[in-house]
Amino acid sequence: MRSLFLKIFLWFWIMMVLIDVASFAVWILQPEIVVSRWQSATSHALSLYAQQATDIYDTAGTKGLNEFLDRLHRSANISAFVYDERGNPLNGSPPTEAGTLARAAIRHNTQKLEIHGNQAFGATIAEGPSGKKYALVAVFPRPRPLGALLPPFRSQPLRWILPIIISGLICYLVALYLTRPILQLRTATRQLATGDLSARASPQLARRRDEIGDLVSDFNLMADRIEALLTSQRQLISDISHELRSPLARMSVALELARKKTPPDAAGLLDRIEREGERLNEMIGKLLTIARLEREKQAPDSAVVQLSDLIQETAEDAGFEANSRNCTVQLSELSGCATQGNPDLLRSAIENVVRNAVRYTAEGTAVEISLACSKNGGQGWAVIRVRDHGPGVPEKELGNLFRPFYRIENARERQKGGSGLGLAITERVIQLHGGSVKAANANGGGLEVEMRLPLAHTTASGNGS
């Protein structure tokens, strides 16, 4: 069956059939229900037999009545007796219980149904063509509900637990069959979304002969195309960046020659060309860094890095740039945290965030940096927070801050917006070291960037809190 619809339909149809069967079994095992149905059916039959017997007796006498009652006994296995208005039997030798029931029915002018031992008695009143009233008493075997044959079902709660177990088992199998492949597909989707281009759904799921199998095949095909496109894009960026280095180097040489042959009043223009060349060279360097980080699976030249020393050095370096804007860089907290990684890459990641904060914080304010050790779920983390007092970022733009070349509208100008690559490098470096980075608008204004890095074992055992 290729159709998932047909599978769902059959599963739930079978489940409903089993539930109905179980419900019927519970119903049939209750003697009260059986007796109630028996009484209802018997009442109608007695009224019919009584009227026929009365009509026959008034027209054909005792002989005709006996013939009718004999036929009734042979066909329905019912022994019937007719009584006159005074309670005297008109045929056979009825048992004592039959006479008592007949007189009670005549006295109260109503129908009576009773069970004595293994026999059931039913009495009803009918009026013949002559206007006289008679009572017919029928004797037949007592009804035996199916529950009487299965006493454990009546005496134990199995009769209502069994349907619950059956339906629960079937629902569990249905849910497992439907959700397990979807959960596996979601896991692969999340891995792909976090940058793991090798993530694929299980090939076993792709062999399913239904819509989910088709979906898994399409997902894997899509993942193959995305990996190929991104790999091609990264290679293109890397190749272009390398190729641009050579003309930039030649441009620098040509610029120095031009300085020697141009009058002094052209120095300003040549300085501008030099600055733009340096900016372009810096951007190319960052592009090459991103391309290299994309190819890395783990941090190269890994060692234990004392983050407190690294952050202190970064804060001192950024302080010189902050002083030119009438700002400061402050260390609000500095715990002794260490992580396993590449010191140069980590310094670059933290420096990019700090310099970005210095660039956007308001004049006369301070960029605040903190380093704290924490523990979550048995894993120790070094938490680095960098907070500025600038205009902040619109909430809808926060998730895009770490995309390459992305700048929000109010940061488009070159002198303030940068190249849009610094935070992208930070995210890739932090992820390469098994950590995470996120940005949020701080209370009171400004932007706060939080970087989390796994603690080295020496730190985790001594400083976890």
| Residues identified as active-site | 242
Cα–Cα distance, 199 to 281 (Å, whole number):
35
Residue 408 and residue 396 in contact, taking contact as beta carbons nearer than 8 Å: no
Strands (E), 31-118: 79-83, 112-116
Nearest residue to 150 via CA among 165, 162, 140: 162
If residue 77 lies in a helix (H) or strand (E), which one and from where to where? none
Backbone dihedral angles phi then psi of residue 408, each to the nearest 5 degrees: -75, 165
- DSSP states along 371-432: EEEEEETTEEEEEEEEE--S----GGGGGGTTSTT---GGG-SHHHH--S-HHHHHHHHHHH
Count of Cβ atoms closer than 10 Å to residue 253 Cβ: 9
The alpha carbons of the chain give a radius of gyration, in whole angstroms, of 47
Q: What angle do CA 176, 181, 183 make, to 5 degrees?
A: 90
CA distances from 340 to 248, 304, 371, 386 (A): 36, 5, 16, 21
Helix (H, G, I), strand (E, B) or coil at 367: strand
Token pair 């055992």 in the structure block, residue? 461
Exposure class string for 86-104: b at 16+ Cβ within 10 A, else e:
eeebbbeebbeebbbbbbe
Continuous segment of H or E residues that includes residue 438? strand 436-441
264: tokens are 């002094």
Residue type, 142: R
Q: Which of 371, 370, 361, 372 is nearest to 328 (CA)?
A: 361
- State how far the alpha carbon of 210 is from the alpha carbons of 214, 217, 240, 389, 441, in Å: 7, 11, 45, 56, 47
Burial label for 9, CB within 10 Å (0-12, 13-18, 19+), is exposed
Number of H helices, E strands in the chain: 13, 11
